[in-house]
Amino acid sequence: MTNGKTKILEDMASTEFRKYGYELVDWIADYLDNIEDYSVLPKTEIGEIKNSLPDQPPKSGESFETILSDFDKKIMPGITHWNHPNFMAYFNSTSSGPGILADLLSAGLNINGMSWHTCPSATELEEVTLNWLAQMLGIPVKFWGIIYDTASMSSLHAVAAAREQAKELFINGEELSQSNYSQLRIYCSEQAHFSIDKCALTLGINKEGIRKIPVDKEFRMIPEKLSEAVKQDRKNGWLPFCVVATVGTTSTTSVDPVKEIATICKKEKIWLHVDAAYAGTAAIIPEMRWIFDGIENVDSIVVNPHKWMFTPIDLSAFYTSKPEMLKQAFSLSAEYLQSSSDEKVTNYMDYGIQLGRRFRSLKLWFIIKYFGVNGIRNRIREHIRLAKKFADWIDNNDDFERMAPVHFGVVCFRAVPKNISDDQSLRENELNKLNEKLLNKINSSDKLFLSHTVLNNKYTIRISISGIRTLEKNVKDAQLIIQNKLSEILT
């Protein structure tokens, strides 16, 4: 061992690793303790970070002090603070202490969980934690789970499995010919996340193969319209093979009626995938279980603990009741990876595109063990309570109006001050401009970060309360900032 000595051919000495490891843990603890001292958004100009770094890599290694000092001076200024309690844009993903520490351990172990053989603990812990999570969410035992990086990837695998099923059901196991490929059709609502379009495009289904189903006033897919579309498409020679229902759409968090959609899909023999990337976590609280009504009849589900379960990005939990379809779509291997245990174990590499797999289940396991089901429930319940309180504030404030129902931690609203034109067409145009200006003013306050969407051509501001560090006082501060910035614009 050469502990403490400069090494020419080996890794950093353990004494040095220990010293800077402790220092970095202290740094992270201080960072999280004092996170409110940072402005949520960085103030850097485009290219500023890049220009502050040398064009070429260092020829000789630098001291760890230099690296840390460069990190502080050159990288930190361009950091957007997703962990900040006033980061209330998009679907916030915040890390938590146990998640951060588990990721550190995972980097230390550096296993590759491609098969059981390459790391039994990684495979078996993934099976156990996904089983725990399924119980927490009320996902029936017939569902089999796997962890991917993001919901986009989970949905891509769902659509690939759906296509595999279509081959079985409609083409009797024969390969679809190129001409048949262009006939495949996938359905999702007008409010579905664009990752679904990307999945379809990636799998060779062109834009015409993606059919958007209209939504009702509450932005939910209308099942009758889906049923009509499928029937019409079959008549016109299309092959309907997959429907994606969303539980918690990105703009408004609307919940598609999974039960009714599942009945249609069962009858039509179409794969039903549920994108519950953000809102699925809410099913952990018993009073929110309704969001998964009918879930026993779907083919696959995605829930992202990195969106609303305090898990450092990335971790997407994917469940399917037909893992054999997924395996059929993806199990290709090479001789060098075969082992005598293959028949008896799960080799996760057989269920997806990637071969190498990080030890993601470790952080999920740490988080569930550390907070417990009740601890997670309390935090999710509180976020929903705070969102409803914020919605009440909007509803009772003459300067604002609410734009969508509130089910989870997101409230969609816009400013509608009195001195706006009465002429309907001018009015909407003016309101759109005003709300865009308001959002820009809020975000340049350095104190709060919100995002926006457009609903029925109306520019809409979105607040998302799902950060583990976001408390009632932060939401009250947000209200004050929003109101003050509107007053500044109007005076």
Q: Residues interacting with ligand PLP, by CB under 6 A? A: 91, 150-152, 193, 195, 246, 248-250, 275, 277-278, 304, 316
Helical packing angle, 424-443 and 472-490, nearest 10°: 120
DSSP SS3 for 458: strand
CB of 194 to ligand PLP, least distance (A): 8
CB of 150 to ligand PLP, least distance (A): 3
Instruction: Please report the beta strands in 280-372, taking only residues with DSSP state E, as ranges in sequence order.
Output: 300-303, 316-320
- Contact assessment for residue 280 and residue 307, using Cβ atoms and an 8 Å cutoff: no
Q: Which residue has the tokens 């269920």?
A: 351
- Contact assessment for residue 442 and residue 40, using Cβ atoms and an 8 Å cutoff: no
Of 152 and 361, nearer to ligand PLP (C-beta) is 152
Phi and psi torsions of 209, nearest 5°: -80, 0
Of 406 and 486, nearer to ligand PLP (C-beta) is 406
Residue 209, Cβ density class (10 Å: 0-12 exposed, 13-18 middle, ≥19 buried): buried
Tokens of 339: 């082992």
CB of 472 to ligand PLP, least distance (A): 25
CB of 91 to ligand PLP, least distance (A): 5
Of 134 and 317, nearer to ligand PLP (C-beta) is 317
CB of 46 to ligand PLP, least distance (A): 23
Of how many residues is the chain composed?
491
CB of 353 to ligand PLP, least distance (A): 14
Of 91 and 351, nearer to ligand PLP (C-beta) is 91
Of 167 and 307, nearer to ligand PLP (C-beta) is 307
Instruction: Please report the beta strands in 135-255, taking only residues with DSSP state E, as ranges in sequence order.
Output: 144-148, 184-189, 210-213, 239-246
- Contact assessment for residue 463 and residue 92, using Cβ atoms and an 8 Å cutoff: no
Of 91 and 143, nearer to ligand PLP (C-beta) is 91
Of 164 and 275, nearer to ligand PLP (C-beta) is 275
| Phi/psi-derived region of residue 204, left when phi > 0, alpha when psi is between -120 and 50, beta in every other case | left
Cα angle 245, 452, 413 (rounded to 5 degrees) comes to 90
CB of 251 to ligand PLP, least distance (A): 9
Q: In this structure, how many other beta carbons lie within 10 angstroms of the beta carbon of residue 121?
A: 14
Q: Which of the 8 DSSP states describes residue 177?
A: P
Of 255 and 478, nearer to ligand PLP (C-beta) is 255
CB of 254 to ligand PLP, least distance (A): 10
DSSP SS3 for 271: strand
